[in-house]
Chains A and B, each alone.
Chain A
Amino acid sequence: MSKFWTRLASAPALVVVAVSTAIPLVAISVQHIASVDIFAVWQRPGVAEALFFSLWQGVLSTVLTLAFGLFPTWVLARYQFTGRSILVALVTVPFVLPTIAVGAAFLAVLPTSLHRTIWAILLAHIFFNISVVVRTVGPLWRSVDQGLIESAQTLGASPAQVYRHLLLPIARPAIISAGSLIFVMCFTSYGIIRILGGPGLATLDIEIYRRAVQLGDISGATVLGITQTLCIAGAFAWWSRSQGAQFSKIGDRNSARALSRSSRIIVFLTATAFTAPLGALIFSSLHTRDAWSLTGWKVVFGLQDIRGLDIDLPSSLATSLLYALAATAIAVPVGMAATAFARRHWIHTAVLLPLSTSPVVLGLAILITYDRAPFDFRSSRLLIPLVHAAIALPFVMRATIAMGNVIPPDLRHAAETLGASPWRRWLNIDLPLLRPAVATGVAFSLAMSLGEFGATSFLTRRHSSTLPISIANLFSRAGDIPRSTGMAAATLLIFVTGLLVISIDRRSYS
């Protein structure tokens, strides 16, 4: 492929990032930052604390997620047992679940003494992000030849030594890559901190929100927001120089190894840890005030109309699905095109911009950028899907690259010598082999869009609300019925999202 086409293939991704994030951020910086605030805002009360908190809880969450996550990752990658694919699904789905639903679930399952403490936050972060470890380190470990481990054993390595001197070094690029992504997610954590952390624990994102909305300090909020975005992008660019690890499903390739005793314990603990919160949520949706009741579920499905509760949930679900489909239709082709031929680092950093930007700053920036014809997009129906697509882009790209690395170059060369034009070759050889990547990309894009709350709630919506926002609405009303309906809707959202990810992922391996 000539360089021109190579560069052009990455253009759509850059357009998406530019339109959804880069241009608005530049616009709001230019228009609304008072230069004095660039330094002054850091001295305002609460800001330094928020930054410090974001940093240390981000680092701690990352370290703990990696430490705990590597065990189930190993077991899932190397053993074959009944229920394995269910456990993989259980562990990998939380990543895309809406924070509001998970927050509710955790509040239901954790003892009250842990509420509003850093422990609740750390546990929730681990819950969400173990998926990243499994999907990044898992495939790598899956491909480790058993003979390598056996030879280490014959050289006197105990299981702990095999782990430390063989498996960890091999996984190092994947661990770094996973760690950097987890750090980004935890640093910018908003919903979980709000729901589980309580007052006094504020990340930079929360402080940005507070400044912009509560205090009307748009300039200060923008300075904080832009700084956050640049720092994260910069740190990420620096970290992810090792291209090693990408983000895909660990396949069901047959390995005839039965579970050892310690791995059995890990399986059990993991399964419990991941079903308990969901179980608690389902319980809350069915149980009101010492009695079982289906009312919440009936309202969710529109089977029962409650006077005063005019939240049209089936319509919200439909809207969510539509947005998700639109977002996926954008994210998957754009993301795949960007990776099909170009694998340079800076593209990965560029596509991470939307994800690392505070939804408040992003929302405000879009608002003031696209307000004049012919760029009057802010009331466009495509705006929210575009933003969703921009957020999902890094994941689509990582999944595609993971599979792209697997295509043997001889196969391509063979096709070329047989006279196949590049796009024919791509269509007939690359594309079928990339199907697992497409599937993973589609699954994640759908799921992330379905569960997205921050940016969606901030951007004005002219048509029906999305499901996460309706859930938030329900939880902001008093009464048994709103509460159980909210729980039921959250459960429904988790199931729809989970099922989508599982079913698409499952069919991804021929």
Chain B
Amino acid sequence: MKYSLAHKTSRLVIALTFVGLTACGSDSPKTQELTLLAYESFTPPAGAFDAFTAQTGIKVTIALSGDAGEMVAKASLTAGNPEGDVMWGVDNTFNSRATDSEVFDGEPVAVDYGDVCVNYDIAALAERGIDAPETLDDLLSSQYASMLVIENAATSSPGLAFLLATIAAFGDDWPNYWEKLIDNDVLIVDSWSDAYYTSFTRYGGDRPLVVSYATSPPAEVIFADPPMAQDAPAPTGVATETCFRQTEYAGILRGANDPAESQLLIDYLISKDFQTLLPESLFVYPINADVELPESFIKYAPQISQPFTLPSKDIATNREVWLEQWSDIALR
């Protein structure tokens, strides 16, 4: 029998593939390890879970699962046989869908929140001799014509949040608002980075108003290059009455290996130890009221006292219809 090199190689490859895949397959339940499923921008500082491991002896592996929407889609599909033990980062726009797909074991728990608001470039507005806007109605005024850039609600989370803000503010009359906003020459782009880094005046664009996060001004200060002077004001500001509250949740995944241990992790995620790390790594507000906000937040982040909100159930039920209607007005 002649063995060709190709034959040998092919046998070897098939064997290796299966050996490799099986051997490196998921671990059999070892109670010393938990997998935390999160969206890919979940980047807590190194050692964030050391305290947890010290307390409980359980090691935490972070599994990054695409963006928040992708993560929920995947979780819905794998409900009952999940990829991890605990999931972090379902926000209120996806919460209902997750619950309906029975993704969680029990109720998910709020872990942080943030606000999506219209940000403005202080210097650019000063140059134009205009005051900063404060409310959604302000944006319709002719002095802000051709100044606002927003994200596509159908593809971008802040874009959707802004749309939801207008729905919460104007109820069934929201299409009317949007027609006027479109008439005021608002620019719609695909993603947040597109809006912020290409169209926003702060980065070379021509629009001084952008839909972003309430925590963007502190970020601008922290990440300024060259670094800003000690008492300089933040270069951008927030229109405090245009905000939509986004709350993020974490929960034990149904079908996780050890619900009791997973619960320990959830407790840790809302504990002061962990939540202190949140503001300056994820740029969100901790749910735990005992946490002291860092200086950058105190100095530069605006106080949003009355953000717009909508019940998760409503969002889930009407999302497709709203997006369809919005696309008709805004995109076509």
Contact = CB atoms under 8 A, between A and B. Distances in A.
A–B contact at 8 Å CB threshold (below): yes
Interface of A: 1, 5, 8-9, 11-12, 15-16, 19, 32, 45-46, 107, 112, 115-116, 194-195, 197-200, 206, 210, 212-216, 218, 288-289, 291, 293, 295-296, 306-312, 330, 333-334, 337, 340-341, 360, 363-364, 367-368, 371-374, 376-383, 386, 421-423, 426-427, 457-458, 460-462, 465, 469, 472-473, 475-484
Interface in B58-84: 61-67, 69-70, 72-74, 76-78, 81, 83-84
Contact of A479 (B25, B35, B222, B327): B222
Interface residues of B, number: 82
Given A215-B320, A422-B4, A465-B64, A199 B152 contact: yes
Given A210-B154, A333-B9, A310 B190 contact: no
B10 A376 contact: no
Contact of B74 (A330, A337, A364): A364
A23 B320 CA distance: 31
A375 to B, nearest CB: 8
Given A476-B193, A479-B219, A479-B224, A107 B198 contact: yes
B190 A9 contact: no
Contacts of A310: 43-46, 281
Contacts of A200: 331-332
A11 B154 contact: no
A195 B25 CA distance: 35
B223 A478 contact: yes
A422 B8 CA distance: 13
A478 B331 contact: no
B17 interface: yes
B331 to A, nearest CB: 5
A199 B69 CA distance: 18
A482 B197 CA distance: 11
A115 to B, nearest CB: 7
A428 B152 CA distance: 59
A112 B324 CA distance: 28
A289 B74 contact: no
Interface string B205-238: 1100000110010011011111000000000000
B21 A377 contact: yes
Contacts of A9: 4, 6-7, 10
A195 B194 contact: yes
Given A426-B4, A479-B220, A212 B225 contact: no
A377 B14 contact: no
B41 interface: yes
Main secondary structure of the interface of A (DSSP, over half): helix
A115 B206 CA distance: 13
B63 to A, nearest CB: 5
Contacts of A476: 41, 192-193
| Closest A-B pairs by Cβ, 10 of them | A479-B223, A199-B152, A481-B223, A379-B26, A480-B225, A213-B69, A478-B219, A423-B5, A9-B6, A475-B193
A460 B154 contact: no
Determine which residue in A9, A194, A214, A367 has the highest number of CB atoms from chain B within 10 A of its CB, and name it. Answer: A214
Given A199-B331, A423-B5, A214 B155 contact: yes
Contacts of A473: 40-41, 43
B22 to A, nearest CB: 6
A376 B25 contact: yes
A118 to B, nearest CB: 14
B24 interface: yes
A479 B97 CA distance: 33
B149 to A, nearest CB: 11
Nearest to B159: A199
Determine which residue in B10, B191, B205 has the highest number of CB atoms from chain A within 10 A of its CB, and name it. Answer: B10
Contacts of B2: 5, 421-423
A83 to B, nearest CB: 33
A109 B309 CA distance: 40
B280 interface: yes
B14 A210 contact: no
A1 B4 contact: yes
Contacts of A479: 219-220, 222-224
B178 to A, nearest CB: 14
Contact of A12 (B14, B35, B61, B77): B14
Given A12-B14, A200-B332, A478-B196, 20 more contacts: A12-B9, A15-B13, A46-B327, A199-B190, A364-B73, A379-B25, A382-B17, A382-B21, A386-B21, A427-B5, A460-B37, A460-B63, A460-B83, A460-B84, A462-B35, A465-B64, A476-B192, A477-B219, A477-B283, A479-B224
Given A199-B154, A422-B2, A288 B281 contact: no
Given A308-B280, A382-B21, A478-B223, A8 B76 contact: no
A376 B26 contact: yes
B301 interface: no
